[in-house]
Each structure stands twice: as structure tokens, then as C-alpha cells.
Amino acid sequence: MSTTSPEALLICEHCDTVYRRRTLERGEVARCARCHAELERHHALSVNALLALILTAMIVFVQANMWPIVTLGLSGQYSGTTLWGMIITMWQQQAQVVAVLAAFTLFFFPMAKMLSLGWLLWFARRGRRAPGFVPLMVGLHYLGPWTMSEVFVLGALVAIVKAHNYFDVVADPGIYAYAALTLLITIFAGVDLRQLWELTPEDPA
């Protein structure tokens, strides 16, 4: 009978093929030989480094929502607006569906993702599972594709270029803060959060 410990095994979540785990070098990704799904990737960032990035992202997120995003000028009169200013304007202009989508994908979903990650990592740095660990991990798995800050930044830049033909357009600090937030979210997207299952063993009953 094999005495291999469960920690030394790696199971493909798509086809249930079992592999022996080995230490990955920097930049390496383990893939299933049967279905080519990603099994594991090298953990370049420690839990403390990820927690620091989360705290940085939350500070940038607050700034991005407080600062004006763009200022438009016409005939010497200028008007700037924040993200929520745009969302409220869209709601008032009978574009409720777009306003709700923008509010969730640009504010509520990113905020939920950062708060959940911060909560999990705060306990993980002490080798413990946070209360609500399992539902939060499942929620983060489904929440990932719905944080669309990068789409907003690209769309805003295109709109600024086009609006420049008709208005005096000034890109305000809010758009730069969202660009920085997009970079941080991109870093998080490349992190394999499944490592938290191993770094925080389940408490014995």
C-alpha cells in the first residue's frame, strides 16, 4: 500500500487525473497531460506580499472613486465628474441597465474581491483559515471575470480621444488611479489562489 501523503499529490479538477507534486521553478506552470488544464503554478509572491498589494489596491480604489475622472470644457466653462457622478447621470438619462452594470463591475465587484482577499490573507499569514473560508474562495472563483476595471480604462481613454474633437478634455487623477488599479488587478489575476487551501490547513474537528 502506498504511503504517499495527500499533500504530495496533485489532482486535476477537470478530469480527476492524479499526479505526484514537485516543486516548480520560477515561471513554471504544471498542466494536466490528459486535458491540458492548469494544475498549479509557481507562487512568486508570499502571503505577506499579496496582503500588501491588496492594501495598496484598496487605497488606490478609494482614490479612484473620490477623484474626478475627466473634465470637459466648452466655451470657457469646465465640468468634471467622478465615477459615481457618471453612474448617477446615466441613471437619470434613462440608461439604468448600463448604470447598474457600471456600478457593479467597477465598484461593488472589485470592492468585494479586495475585501474578501484581504480577509483571507490576513488569517493566512498566521497559518489559519478565515471564518467563511470555503464560501469566500468559491465566490472569488466566480467573481474574477466580473471585475472589469481594465475595460473601463480602455473605454475611457477612447472616449477622451474622440471627445477631444468637440470639447477641451482634461484627464483627471481619477483615471490614472483606475489605471494603477487595473495593473494591480492584473497582478492578482495571475496569482493562483488555490495555494490558500494548502497554506491554511483545515482545523481538526
What does the pLDDT average to over 62-80? Answer: 77
Determine contact, residues 115/98, Cβ cutoff 8 Å.
no
Residue 29 pLDDT level (bands cut at 50, 70, 90): confident
Which pLDDT score, from 0 to 100, does residue 2 have?
45
Which pLDDT score, from 0 to 100, does residue 6 have?
47
Here the cell at position 138 is: 468559491
As a whole number of angstroms, the distance between CA 4 and CA 19 comes to 11
pTM above 0.85, yes or no: no
